[in-house]
Structure 1
Amino acid sequence: MPAPRTPRRWKPVALATAAVLVGLMTPALTASPAAATTTAYDSTYYKDAIGKSGTALKSSLHTIIKNQRTISYSAVWEALKVTDQDPNNSGNVILLYSGISRSKSLNGGNVGNWNREHVWAQSHGSIGTSNGPGTDLHHLRPEDVQVNSIRGNLDFDLGGSSFTNSGGSLVDADSFQPRSAVRGDVARMILYMTVRYEGDDAWADLEPNDRVNNGSNPLHGRLSVLKAWNEQDPPDAFEERRNELIHGTYQGNRNPFIDHPEWVEAIW
């Protein structure tokens, strides 16, 4: 039997507050490396990746996580009602950027509804909504229709202005900054996509870079900011539960950066 997984901690309010303050400084200089972790999957699922770093680790993780089941875009609706269920209200889902708890039944495309947000923007590499990256639950989350539209296909960076139902998220002309409690989640979702989709199947080779305004290129930024967010906002119980459900119930693969956030620095 694999060794018991080391328990993780919830993200405390103090950490989220600190992340806001730290985010005002240069992220690449303020983030400290994530502490090494041990999971029950290290001796089985991740056995070929343990001990590696750099391109060797990235390649090994790609080989591990590319073996997945795909679901249709219509099936994503019901899956998100399970993966993003409000732990305090089983009839609701938690919206990613706004943090609002909204009824599961209010999924759709109208004002007041929630829809399927592609954290890796669809236009970056033209991933669309076809089975594959366009329906990969590891980067799809519920979000308010209007908030989703405001985020659009913007890259992630620091700064901006608030907006209705922002929950603390900010937007400016060329970037979007999620609320502090999910910045690490966003970083780990983006970096998962860059490891899973390496251009050796029908999809584009997705990669991170340290820029905004990436448009239709298969790139997403900014890497230095995402790395800092990964350090400042470690995985919590909600994020870990999603990873388990996607692995066990839907796709059969895992987001390795939720299990091992220190692998972000080990690769990049």
Structure 2
Amino acid sequence: MLATHIRHRRWKSVALTTAAVLVGLTAPALTASPAAATTTEYDDTYYADAIGKTGTALKDSLHEIISDQTKISYSAVWNALKATDQDPNNSSNVILLYSGVSRSKSLNGGDTGDWNREHTWAKSHGDFGEAIGPGTDLHHLRPADVQVNSIRGNKDFDNGGSSVTNGGGSLTDSDSFEPRDADKGDVARMILYMAVRYEGDDGWADLEPNEKVNNGSAPYMGKLSVLKQWNDEDPPSAFEERRNEVIYDTYQHNRNPFIDHPEWVESIW
């Protein structure tokens, strides 16, 4: 069944008109180009009320769409992650966020060498803990190495820092965490999904991205400008797209719109 759904995903890049002329090629770095517009098979159905909107109107429409979801318990997340994050090359393993390591599904737990459930939007940022709702939303929960997860803790996301042991190229400092390049877009799209899904109208805090680190228990996550850059630099992968399908088809029956339409990040923020 999964293979059928994956085969039927029709992604089409839509050329964006560019009037800019490249100048200053001797500068240290060029800014990443905004995500290209896309169309999906869900535009005429799931996203019908959002197509053509921008800004606040788009965010409000997406909130209404993705808030219609089936919720699962925190204990059920263990088995769900074994399906959503299955290694495409080894069905006995999952791929770990941040490190990119393929590890046995059976090694879930809290000991060194195990993988556990990482809340990409740190559960202390808004104080939702592990409660059904934001605390169990699969669109931001990923398997991660226990020690790497502990190093990330509840830090905001930003560029820079020193190498994380066994972190696959991830970096960290006293107040922020930078995932390895292959996970940067994933992290950005998960954080921004949470900001649209949880708007303070269902008993939980209104989650929003901002330009700060050290957000602590406030319902904010930074840095927005960095997350936008990561979304542009690391477009959705086949792994990320498959994950979105599994969550939609099997578990929550809602989608992460920024995996389907990464250009909506710039449209909203």
| TM-score using structure 2 length | 0.90
Shift of 1:5: 4.3
Aligned to 1:6: 10
Aligned to 1:14: none
Which whole-Å CA distance do the structure 2 matches of 1:7 and 1:51 have between them? 18
Aligned to 1:259: 260
The answer for unaligned runs of 5 or more in structure 1 is 10-23
| Aligned-CA RMSD value | 1.3
Aligned to 1:178: 179
Shift of 1:8: 6.9
| Contact kept? 1:6, 1:37, Cα under 8 Å | no
Which whole-Å CA distance do the structure 1 matches of 2:82 and 2:241 have between them? 16
Which whole-Å CA distance do the structure 1 matches of 2:99 and 2:128 have between them? 24
Aligned to 2:102: 101
Aligned to 1:157: 158
Aligned to 1:193: 194
In structure 2, the CA distance between the partners of 1:152 and 1:8, relative to structure 1 (3 Å rule), is: farther
Show structure 1 runs of 4+ deviating over 3 A: 4-9
| Contact kept? 1:157, 1:176, Cα under 8 Å | yes
In structure 2, the CA distance between the partners of 1:185 and 1:235, relative to structure 1 (3 Å rule), is: same
Q: Equivalences for 1:28-177 in 2 at 5 Å?
A: 30-177=31-178
Question: Greater helix share, 1 or 2?
Answer: 1
Which whole-Å CA distance do the structure 1 matches of 2:195 and 2:166 have between them? 29
Which whole-Å CA distance do the structure 1 matches of 2:9 and 2:154 have between them? 36
Larger Rg: 2
In structure 1, give the amino acid aligned to 2:175.
D
Which whole-Å CA distance do the structure 1 matches of 2:32 and 2:58 have between them? 21
Which whole-Å CA distance do the structure 1 matches of 2:11 and 2:59 have between them? 25
| Contact kept? 2:73, 2:132, Cα under 8 Å | yes
In structure 2, the CA distance between the partners of 1:8 and 1:43, relative to structure 1 (3 Å rule), is: closer
Aligned to 2:3: none
| Contact kept? 1:54, 1:267, Cα under 8 Å | yes
Shift of 1:32: 1.4
Shift of 1:140: 0.2
Aligned to 1:217: 218
What is the number of residues matched between the two proteins? Answer: 248
Identity %: 76
| TM-score using structure 1 length | 0.90
